[in-house]
Structure formats: C-alpha cells, structure tokens
Amino acid sequence: MGLWEKKLRRLDGGRSRCPYCGLPQDRVATLEQEWVSLEPDMRPPAHQVPAGHRWIELSDGRVTVYGVCPPDQFQRCRIEHRLACPAQPLPDLWPWLTSLRGENARQVERQSDPEPPPPPEKWPDAG
Ligand SMILES: [Zn+2]
C-alpha cells in the first residue's frame, strides 16, 4: 500500500456527530473492514476499561480490540462513544457480573417463601 493510499484511508474517517446526543465522535476504520465510533481525545489506561472494549490504534490509522489480557500496565486505549453517550443505554460491560446478579435474583426468588426464623437461643440461667 502506498503512502497516498494510506492518506486516503485516513481521510475516509474523521470526526462526525453522534446521531443520538449530537456530541462529536471519531469514525475510525477497524481491522475487520468495519467502522467504529470512538470517543474523541480520550485514551484511558487499558486496565481501566472492560475487556473487549479496549480499542488500540494501529500504525496505519485503523483500530482493533486490544487482545492482551491482563493488559499491559502502560497500555492506553480508546473507547467507543456509545459507552460514554448520555443518550444511549449502557451495554453489558461486565457479563459475568450480570450473570451473577441474575443468579442472585433467582436465589432471592427461591427465598420468597422463607422458613420461620429459628427461635432465639435461650441463655442458660446464670448463677
Ligand atoms: Zn452520543
């Protein structure tokens, strides 16, 4: 790929406005030939972002999901605007926590018909 083509590819992206909240977002090509809208000017440490939502920039300007786990301590990443968008529901960032909550909800349901509490323990007469 020549330099000119690289430049052209970069120009394909660029800043646009979120159709939901109207704030600016960066439209960036992914390694998988798709597009992703990233939060502009924001590069948090990768370990502070849930796995699967850490986008890293490649030398040709495209981005891909950072696959190193646990992440390198100094690795920075980008995040999708939809995670920060005030007008869109937050996706399921921690699936294992969501399933744990579901499991706990079922546990609460099973306890809806509780057994009577055990009688208070009687202390033996002192003295
Ligand atoms: Zn938005």
pLDDT in tens, 15-55: 999 999 999 999 999 999 899 999 999 999 999 999 899 99
Which structure tokens are listed for 127?
């003295």
Q: Is the pLDDT of residue 5 over 50?
A: no
What is the Å distance from ligand 1's center to 35 Cα?
A: 16
Q: Is the pLDDT of residue 73 over 60?
A: yes
Cα 35 from Cα 1, distance rounded (Å)? 20
DSSP H/E element including 126: none
Strand pairing of 63-65 and 35-38? unpaired
pLDDT-based confidence at 2, cuts 50/70/90?
very low
pTM: 0.70
- Tell me which residue has tokens 């869109």: 88
Neighbours of ion ligand 1 (CB under 5 A): 18, 20-21, 85
